[in-house]
Amino acid sequence: MSNIPNTFTIRQNLLEQRTILLKRLESKENLDRSNHLLNPDQADRALISRDNDRAKRLINHDQQQLDAIEQALARLDAGTYGICTTCGQSIQPARLEIMPTAAHCIDCQRLQDQ
């Protein structure tokens, strides 16, 4: 963890991001529950279906981000933050600065993305 300059700042940023995501997910769930028409016509049903599909994709994306944040916080707690979970090498600080939830060094991430 010595290559990580300020774990306190990283933790605070991750916690802030987590709070924002949790609020956003809650508001999306509340919006979904309130988005019901009594007798929608075919056009309304098509719009509702499209909107529901879009909302599900956004919720899924936010949930994935939330999971990544939780995993990064767990690595901070375990003292393994900044260490690639695949090869065990240090993750470059510049990569962590851009993507604080990164669990893999750039080489291992490239292999996973193939």
Note the pLDDT tens digit of each residue in 34-62. Answer: 555 567 777 777 777 787 788 888 889 99
pLDDT at residue 30 in the model: 60
Euclidean distance between CA atoms 49 and 92, whole angstroms: 43
Residue 100 CA, chain-centre distance (Å), reads: 11
Question: Chunked in runs of 10, what are the mean pLDDT values of the chain (114 residues)?
Answer: 71 96 82 60 76 83 96 96 96 93 96 93
At residue 37, the 3 state secondary structure works out as coil
Instruction: Report residue 60 as tokens.
Output: 């899924």
CB 93 within 8 A of CB 3: yes
pLDDT at residue 104 in the model: 97
Euclidean distance between CA atoms 68 and 95, whole angstroms: 15
pLDDT at residue 81 in the model: 95
pTM, two decimal places: 0.78
At residue 87, the 3 state secondary structure works out as coil
pLDDT at residue 42 in the model: 77
Backbone phi and psi for residue 90, each to the nearest 5 degrees, phi listed first: -70, 140
